[in-house]
Amino acid sequence: MNTTGTTARSYSPSWRLASVIALRALVHALLRNKWDGRENVPRRGAVIIAANHLSYLDWAPDGVFLHACGRYPVFMIKASAFELKGIGGFLRKAGQLPVHRGSRDAALALSEAQKRLAEGAAVVFYPEGTTTHDRTGWPMAAKTGVARLALATGVPVIPVAHWGTLDIVPYGGKMPKLLPRKTVHAVAGPPVDLSRWAGQQDSPEALHAATDAIMAQVTELVGQLRGETPPPVPYDPGSPATAGPESMTKPLQETGPD
């Protein structure tokens, strides 16, 4: 299996290999992992992964799942993490992408992501931009960055869903609850059909429609994992009409560009 992911050396192959060995061993030791749909993730070539976002822990089981699919994941990570001693250097050497807040910086992050896609990378987005504010755990309304990138590049978008991380790191929490050992179930679906909006990345209407199409498939996968029917309208922090007693009132973690 190729653990380097891209052909251009925007990373250190040895550091990536070390991250695979360490993270895989840790995740398998601490969690039960159940995987489905691995055949839907292309083993070669550029691909965008769009996943739901439940907790601070999501990146770890998601990363191991995607590696099991044959890809080394490139995550969009808050720029502040790159300033942490030790961690920041590792993230850079592993070829991860920093995300700054603000419209100008968000555009820069998408530009950097586009460069990685041109190298054949698997770039992971959490389109909601933060852990969901829906207290029942359903995906909420997403930002349009992932759709913009997909429409501009024509790179396939693979929807990914996971369930179980909230049992380990619940809303607002940072300390994991690892005992008793818990199961995280991840599944990848077939590519989202965005052909009707191809090349329309400058159209707000197309961006929102494509974003809705992506999140509809992510949410459907979450429903499959939960064995439940998703709500007809996702919670939208910017729309009081969708607010209710089950919604969060403030963001927990910002991870992606607008």
Give residue for tokens 């009707």: 196
Side chain identity at 241, as an amino acid letter?
A
Cα–Cα distance, 186 to 95 (Å, whole number): 24
pLDDT of amino acid 251: 39
Q: What is the pTM of this model?
A: 0.87
Given a cut of 90, is residue 97 above it in pLDDT?
no
pLDDT at 234: 95
Between 73 and 91, where is the model more confident?
A: 73
Q: Which has the minimum average pLDDT: 9-13, 149-153, 168-172, 239-243?
A: 239-243
* Mean pLDDT of the region 47-74: 96
Q: Are 3 and 122 in contact (CB under 8 A)?
A: no
In this predicted model, what pLDDT tens digit does every residue of 109-160 receive, in sequence order?
Answer: 888 899 999 999 999 999 998 899 998 999 999 999 999 999 999 999 999 9
Distance CA(219)–CA(205), nearest Å, equals 21
- What residues does 33 pair with on adjacent strands? 184
Q: What is the pLDDT of residue 243?
A: 55
Q: Please check whether residue 217 is in contact with residue 147, taking contact to mean a CB–CB distance below 8 angstroms.
A: no
How many angstroms from the chain centroid is the CA of residue 150?
14
Exposure class string for 131-160: b at 16+ Cβ within 10 A, else e = bbbbeebbbbbbbbbbbbbbbbeebbbbbb
C-beta neighbour count of 31 within 10 angstroms: 21
Segment 14-30, tens digit of pLDDT: 888 999 999 999 999 99
| Band of residue 241 on the pLDDT scale cut at 50, 70, 90 | low
User: 230 preceded by cis ω (within 30°)?
Assistant: no
